A and B are shown apart, each in its own frame.
Chain A
Amino acid sequence: MKTTCTLLTLFCSLLLAGLNVASGEPATPLGKGMKIWFDTGGPVGGPYNTIVQNGATQAAADLGVNLTLLYSEWNPENMIANFKTALAAKPDGIVVMGHPGDDAFAPLVDEAMAGNILVTCVDTDLPRLRAKYASRGFGTIGTDPEVMGRTLAKEALARSGVKKGDRAFVWGLKRLEERGRRARAMLKTLEEAGLVVDYLEISPEVDKDTAMGTPVITGYLSSHADCKLILIDHGALTSQMENFLKAAGVGPDQVYVGGFSLSPATATAIESGYVDLVSEMQPYLLGYLSVTQLVLTKSYGFTGLNIDTGGGLVDKSSIGKVAPLAKRGIR
């Protein structure tokens, strides 16, 4: 509800900006001359953070902002180092990924705010800093991994029709602290529903080269032929489910498969029925909305927005519309 409201407000403000043009007034973009430094979090060309970056770049182009992108290889220390670099450049605003946490960021954000540099965060929330600086434009665009995991598991339970005592398989990355909460939430939800759940940690090799996951799924499914539900906390692995299941001799829609993040290959897998449900964090919004909000805060003093983007669920019925956007790095 809150999300819808804020989105609506935002939409209206953008619309007004558009009307300005229509009514013939001089069309100066709102963010003209503003400098924003943006940490995309991941590596250059990382699949997820590239979509975040695409959103941020589009917002900057729409609003006339001068955007500088930073990359942190998903390493919290790099994110802190990048923040220091950004501070030294004295921009108007900085967008961070919240991974390093409140304690690591607090002194740096204090310094930024003291120097009249706006800060907001995306992806992972920084609750204490947000409480402290919300009135000065510190917000969070993103979602709670726990909520995301729970939502996907619940939807999958409801749609797949599995019953108490059925076997389910979860493939995730518990070893990553923040990200691991998503897998834990899925496990908890499935176990509470009375399912027998097998958990498998994704190895670093399979994490990077998904081809090597084939024998893992084949081995698991031939040892546990009664498995009815598979949930995968990994975008690239979700996209390869078609290959994995084919190799394991499992046909489309024989096992209910849920996963995260849309990619062109996942879209294909949904169309062919090997993947049934995909939850997406809508990373494009992280980039677009955070930059937009900083511009609005700078111009009109609006407070920080707290927006949950984790509601997106894609299945066979909606994939037709979404697939072309996935190809362009928007969904």
Chain B
Amino acid sequence: MAFLHRYRLQLGITALLAMLLALFALLSPQTFLGGRIYISFLSTIPFIAILALGLTFLVIAGELDMSFPSLMAMAGLLFAEIYLRTASPWLGFVAALAAGGIGGLLNGLLVVKVGVPSIIATIGTQFFWRGLSALLASGLARNIASIRGTDFHQLMVGRVLGIPAQALWFLALAILLALLLNRHVFGERVLFTGDNLRAARLNGVDTDRVRLWLFTMMGLLSAFVAVLVCLEMGNWWPTQGEGYLLLVFAAIFIGGTSVFGGRGTLYGTCIGAIIIGIIEAGIISAGFSGFWTRLVHGLIIVVSVSIYATIFRTGRS
């Protein structure tokens, strides 16, 4: 009973996902009782989910990052361009991670050292990185279809016993990050930083360093996802990442993480990402028009956050 109460949020969101899947299976059994659609989900949802994991950490610490879509574009461009020039995906990968890490650290420095609120700082850097990538790419997409034959491609987004490798990467990261948040001293510092910044400092938590690390981690994860997306699509394009912004935030808040910081669940975020990722396909397969997708997204977000606010009292206290 105590277990049920303690994990009521996680159980609730899991029930919502189960209900959605049951509903979709009922409406279009030929799609949702077969395996192929789930393989498709496993190939695309990890992108949303990995980004959402990183952002959940920042939200728990009381910060936001609006710049990750642009960092993705920048890191993805570096990856594609370096691959095209050197034929070495590894070199491109390292460069992409470096760019992501530096971009994230820059966000952190703006927030922590300069003192700009994170939503403002990262809106600024979002424009900056999008602009820089567009400038460097002269607005042209990069076709890297030739990467499909490489070992690197197989390792990152290949199929392992039919399962897309990116899903396995996601799983590994999710477990690692869940341990970091819930069982590592760093995670504790993150929780206290978001709960009460001053109290955390008085307890000797170096909140500046914690936040610098978190922004850097978000940058690294953005770059990692950017490389996965480039590999999966065999292509880099100038608007890469832009479509993820709202979906990633939606996944986090459907998952039950509090926007006021100090509390959050990576499990909820993962389930939130899955819910966000399956809705469109579910609606289309059931034969409804695509115009329904947004409506249902909106409905699920509003209903779930309302439930959190009223029943779980996640509001501002």
Contact = CB atoms under 8 A, between A and B. Distances in A.
**Whether chain A touches chain B in the assembled complex (some CB pair under 8 Å):** yes
Interface of A: 43-47, 49-50, 53, 198-212, 214-216, 218-220, 222-223, 225, 236, 239-240, 242-243, 247-249, 263-265, 267-268, 327, 329
B234 interface: yes
Contacts of A243: 232-234
Given A209-B244, A249-B36, A203 B235 contact: no
Given A203-B293, A222-B34, A265-B143, A45 B43 contact: no
A169 to B, nearest CB: 10
Contact of B143 (A200, A247, A263): A263
A204 B280 CA distance: 12
A47 B47 CA distance: 23
B280 A199 contact: no
B37 interface: yes
A236 B229 CA distance: 14
**Chain B, interface residues (CB within 8 Å), range:** 35 or more
A199 B290 CA distance: 8
Given A199-B289, A201-B291, A220 B284 contact: yes
B77 to A, nearest CB: 10
Contacts of A206: 243, 280
Contacts of B100: none
B139 A220 contact: no
Given A212-B243, A264-B141, A219 B282 contact: yes
A268 B145 contact: yes
A311 B294 CA distance: 35
B285 A44 contact: no
Contacts of B139: 44-47, 49-50, 53, 329
B238 interface: yes
B154 interface: no
Contact of B280 (A46, A215, A242): A215
A118 B81 CA distance: 41
Nearest to B243: A209
Interface string B29-61: 011001011011101100110000000000000
Given A201-B289, A205-B243, A218-B281, A211 B44 contact: yes
Nearest to A40: B139
Contacts of A214: 40, 43-44
Given A44-B135, A45-B137, A200-B284, A215 B37 contact: yes
B112 interface: no
B212 to A, nearest CB: 28
B140 interface: yes
Given A216-B280, A216-B281, A219-B31, A46 B238 contact: yes
Interface of B: 28, 30-31, 34, 36-37, 39-41, 43-44, 47-48, 131, 133-135, 137-143, 145, 229, 232-235, 237-244, 246-247, 277-278, 280-282, 284-287, 289-291, 293-294
Given A45-B135, A46-B139, A223-B28, 18 more contacts: A44-B134, A45-B139, A47-B140, A47-B141, A47-B237, A205-B246, A209-B241, A210-B233, A212-B44, A215-B37, A215-B44, A219-B40, A219-B284, A222-B30, A248-B36, A263-B141, A265-B145, A327-B143
Contacts of A216: 280-281, 284, 290
A223 B237 CA distance: 30
B1 to A, nearest CB: 38
A214 to B, nearest CB: 5
Given A45-B238, A211-B232, A219 B285 contact: yes
Nearest to A169: B284
Contacts of A249: 36
B145 A218 contact: no
11 contacts: A45-B238, A50-B140, A202-B290, A204-B243, A208-B239, A211-B229, A212-B47, A219-B31, A223-B28, A248-B40, A265-B145
Contacts of B37: 215, 218-219, 222
Nearest to B241: A209
Contacts of B247: 205, 212
A241 B109 CA distance: 41
Given A44-B134, A214-B43, A218-B37, A265 B241 contact: no
A6 B134 CA distance: 35
A248 B35 CA distance: 10
B232 A264 contact: no
Contacts of A210: 233, 237
B278 A215 contact: yes
Contact of B287 (A50, A201, A223): A223
B285 A222 contact: yes
A207 B243 contact: yes
Given A209-B243, A210-B237, A200 B289 contact: yes
Contact of B131 (A44, A46, A209, A240): A44
